[in-house]
Structure 1
Amino acid sequence: MLDIFFDSLPTATVLYSIVANIIRVIAIGVVPYNRRPSAATAWLMLIMLEPIIGTLVFSILGSNKLNARRQRIQRAVNRGLKAMWLDTPDTPPNELLPEGLERVIAMNRKMTELPSLFGINRAISSDYQTSIDQIIHAIDESRYYVHMLFYIMAKDERTTPIFDAMKRAVDRGVRVRVLYDHIGSRKYPGFAEMREFMTNNGIDHHMTAPVLPFDGEFNRPDLRNHRKLMVVDGNVGFTGSFNMIDSTYLDEQNVALGRHWNEVTILLNGQIVSQLDNIFALDWASETNETLPVSIPDAAQRQHISYVSRHTDDEMNVFQLIPSGPGYAEEPNLRLFTTLIEQAQEHVAIVSPYFIPDTPLMQAITSAAYRGVEVELFVNERGDQMMVDLAQRSYYEPLLDAGVTIWLWPQPEILHAKFVTIDRQVSVLGSSNMDMRSFGLNHEISLLASNGNVNRDLHKVLRTYRTKCTVLDRDRWGRRSWVTRYLESLMRLTSALQ
């Protein structure tokens, strides 16, 4: 028996070699198709080294396309948005925008169907508890409906008052709809109990992109809904980087280290809130097949008009919401960031906990610095994800060489805010990081703002960051060990596998 086994080994080896080489040849022509060069190179290296395993992984994770049903819903919603906003110009009439911004807004609209609209910035908050208090107050003021979408939701000691507010709203006849990401939320304590609480108290809740193959619900585990938003009665909107969970993310090690997450959120009124509702309706339809009405009751509309009339001039901003993700092949958030930075003349500030740019974005940032634009990058001294942290460090040296100032948020805390300011005139804030996961795999929303107080408020936040952060020294950074450099390069390569 053993003789037969050993005699068959050469034949098996030859067959494996033939199959492996066939796979390699096919991969060279298939993998690069419609894929950025960095991602194609990383996938090809994996397949060349391990043809069978690499092909298996590529077949599961190599495409970021939605399944057929979700693609149909996305197309239907896009047609509806196009018709809904057909008579609305790209920009509000008689509004003088910063140079070049009209073209950026027109570009965004071609990709997402959404024009720019007026809106009121009621508050930009970088205080965790303040954001929670704002959410509770908005829910308690609701009369018709509450729509909530968060990547991470957990019912813990800090967020229980939010769930209690949702229960009070249901008790007085308000329709409360909640979406939360399956993979993003399920790992936190009390996930089943949170779902049971919402079910028992009449809160209509669903997971986004659930990975439940035995229940007939399978979605790719790496295509996540990373958006964070809330809409109340079509009057009040909320978005930013905040997840509905304690600032320690309920991790014992974080508690022991004193590690807390620091966020930035914006509270909105005005026309722009309707676009947040549009995106919630898209995600709701994707999970439930239910089409939500796009209008609000007449009484709520009158209340909205009265509410909006009470504002100061600088509170009124021109906003545009830019959704992105697997349903948008053009990568709207990446194009937005790259175009704005290419147009910068004086100053760029980038705040991103996860910074892994693709080549055009990296070139836009370094080119801005080389032509004399003051460029600041705010990142964590030590990130919460080791592989991502190492990958993003591989970009620091060319940034420093170009003259970019890199501010390090001191460990053990985590700077989780995500926003960009350009020339102190234009800002973008929302859920999107400056990394390839946010550009190609995650569903994100980014809020473009100009002509109001958003830039002023974000620069106030930046001033507080500078007092807390330290500047990365070029000479000290150049003295890190070869082992560290090797690991950075390795993680940079793996980060492109999408």
Structure 2
Amino acid sequence: MLEAPLFPYDLLSADTFPESILLVLVVLDWTVRLLALGWIPHNRRPSVALAWLLAIFLVPVVGLLLFLVIGSARLPKNRMAMQARMNDVIRENSPGSPVLGNTLEQLPAWIESTAALNYRLGALPMVGGNSFEIRTDNHEALRLMAEAVDRAEDYVHFEFYIVAFDDTSRVLLDALVRAHERGVRVRVLIDHLGSVGYPGYRALVRHFDRSGFPWQRMLPVRPWKGEWQRPDLRNHRKILVVDGEVAWTGSQNVIHRSYNKRRNVRKDLQWKDLMIECRGPVVAELNALFTGDWYSETGDLLLDEATGELPGVEGPVFAQVLPSGPGFETENNLRLFNHLIYNANRQIVIASPYFVPDESLMHALTTEAQSGVDVQLFVGETSDHFLAYHAQNSYYQALAEAGVKIYRYRSPTVLHAKFVLVDDYVSVIGSSNMDERSFALDLEVSVYIVDREFRRRMDAVVAQFHEASTLLDLEEWKRRPLWRKYVDNVARLTSALL
């Protein structure tokens, strides 16, 4: 009987390699493994470290090369220094308190402690005097954003992860050109690798180059132009600010809801997003985030296009912007989500297209569900990401057994809305998924909104989601084919590196 080789170098012999070379290869192989054991776990979660160690031990050369290319979840030092400088500028222009206004006395104490956490993590305070409109139709949202740009008189700041030129997006992209032509200061940021793979990207570049306004690829990966960083660190934010008066943010990209891919059109896949139209002091916070990203990409600090000192307006709607991502030392969005979940007393509702929780988030959700809190999770019945889709499937059984109600938004709609709702007052709307990529690898934006009436309006959105979703049946889920369970479990192994 033939025995499988224990290590790759067992395939080698003195018949093919001199003994001296064979000995060197053995020593190098063990040196890589032993160094990896002490090097990779440094300042990494155990789950991430174990995933990298597994890759290196199974395929040492490939695993090590991948680790050297994408193993660091931090931006270059100069980018981190720029982020720190922007945080200082933001703090200098705020009164130094995590909450501006004094109408939180009747609310639970943990709401103010959440604002303090966000302020420490992201430098922006919670401010009153805001208003919000909820937009759930992708193409209608593009039209409304274009109308806002057409009313611009001073400046337009545009920052999106995926942007492509097509028959749907052109209504907004043409509005940017018109604004520039009438003297409005237009500045545009798009994520490089986020956009480059979609039909309409080349037409977009030509459109922007002809426009005459300044635009920039975020985190570009173009070694032939001297532009390089870890390629899977991306800017996933979606922000539009007009004149400091109105802003938009949420989950939506600037592209047709099919994302222009042939396979999506063939399957009739249509993305379902959620955006909020914002007015009030929170607009200045979203603008501060844009100016920080513009500074990081261009070195140009737009102090004349940034709001000065934030006003301390009392009520009626309090809100706070929390940035997160590899530009920060901590995983800001994960800390916010865990804090909110553990403080819930009645209900938690989460919508996330990519739900691949780390251990802390998994414990938080199952603990709250087991304590009697109504925990509802909305995910997609279909997805455009094979590994993320199957990885998230592997968590459903444990969640459902703990009492989490899992609603799968029916195909062919691809659920892409991202929000967290807690009890009667708290809503968090933004760009962040519930996965390792959004926690550690992508720059994200979340808006923490404290208001009972807005929370009720989000209940109407949840009701629509209920009508379009199917509640996961645990016993039926357990009976899914063995091959699917196998694929789900293999994909789960990669979840820490997704």
- Flag whether TM exceeds 0.5 (same fold): yes
Which aligned pairs between 1:318-357 and structure 2 lie closer than 5 A?
318-357=318-357
1:39: which partner in 2? 48
Report SS of the residue matched to 2:175. helix
| Worse-superposed segment, 120-129 or 248-257 | 120-129
Distance (whole Å) between structure 2 residues aligned to residue 229 and residue 89 of structure 1: 23
Quick one: which of 10, 18, 25 aligns to 2:34? 25
Determine the C-alpha separation between the residues in 1 that align with 2:208 and 2:47: 43
Q: Relative to structure 1, is the Cα distance of residues 11 and 412 closer, same or farther in structure 2, using a 3 angstrom cutoff? A: farther
The equivalent position to 2:86 in structure 1, one of 72, 77, 90, is 77
Asked if residue 236 in structure 1 is aligned to residue 246 in structure 2, the reply is yes
Distance of aligned partners of 1:381 and 1:296 in 2 relative to their CA distance in 1, 3 Å threshold: closer
Equivalent residue runs for 1:57-456 within 5 Å? 57-96=66-105, 97-293=107-303, 316-456=316-456
How far did 1:455 drift? 1.1
Per-residue displacement from partner, 1:246-278 (whole Å, max 9, x unpaired)? Answer: 000001121121110000000011001011011
- Superposition RMSD in Å: 2.1
The answer as to whether partners of 1:325 and 1:443 remain within 8 angstroms in 2 is yes
Distance (Å, rounded) in 1 between the aligned partners of 2:324 and 2:98:
21
Given that residues 348 and 423 in structure 2 are in contact (C-alpha distance below 8 angstroms), is that contact kept between their aligned partners in structure 1?
A: yes
| CA–CA separation in structure 1 for the residues paired with 2:206 and 2:382 | 36
Q: 2 CA distance for matches of 1:451 and 1:91?
A: 15
Per-residue deviation at 1:341? 0.3
* 8 A Cα contact 2:353 2:433, kept in partner: yes
1:231-255: CA deviations, max 9, x gaps?
Answer: 0111101100010000000011211
Structure 1 pair 364–156 and aligned structure 2 pair: CA distance change class (3 A) = same
Unaligned runs of 5+ residues in structure 2 are: 1-12
Question: 1:89 deviation in Å?
Answer: 4.6
TM-score by length of 2: 0.93
**Residue type matched to 1:472 in 2?**
L
CA distance in 2, matches of 1:450, 1:477: 36
CA separation in 2, counterparts of 1:463 and 1:424?
15
Q: Is the contact made by 2:180 and 2:186 (CA closer than 8 Å) also made in structure 1?
A: yes
Distance in structure 2 (CA, Å) of the matches to 1:102 and 1:294: 32
Q: What is the SS of the residue equivalent to 1:77? A: helix
8 Å CA contact 1:121, 1:453 repeated in 2: no
Unaligned runs of 5+ in 1: none
Shift of 1:75: 1.4
Q: SS where residue 497 of structure 2 aligns?
A: coil
Superposed counterparts of 1:475-490, under 5 Å: 475-490=475-490
1:11-49: CA deviations, max 9, x gaps?
433322211111111111111111111101111111112
In 1, the alpha carbon distance for the partners of 2:97 and 2:112 equals 14
CA-CA distance at 1:295 after TM superposition? 5.5
Report the TM-score, using the length of structure 1 for normalisation.
0.93
Aligned residue type for 1:169: A
Contact 1:370/1:402 (8 A) holds in 2? yes
Q: 2 CA distance for matches of 1:477 and 1:294?
A: 56
Paired residue total: 484
CA apart distance, 1:5: 8.9
Which of 39, 45, 48 pairs up with 2:57?
48
Cα separation, partners in 2 of 1:37 and 1:128, compared to 1, 3 Å: same
The structure 1 segments of at least 4 consecutive aligned residues displaced by more than 6 Å after TM superposition are: none
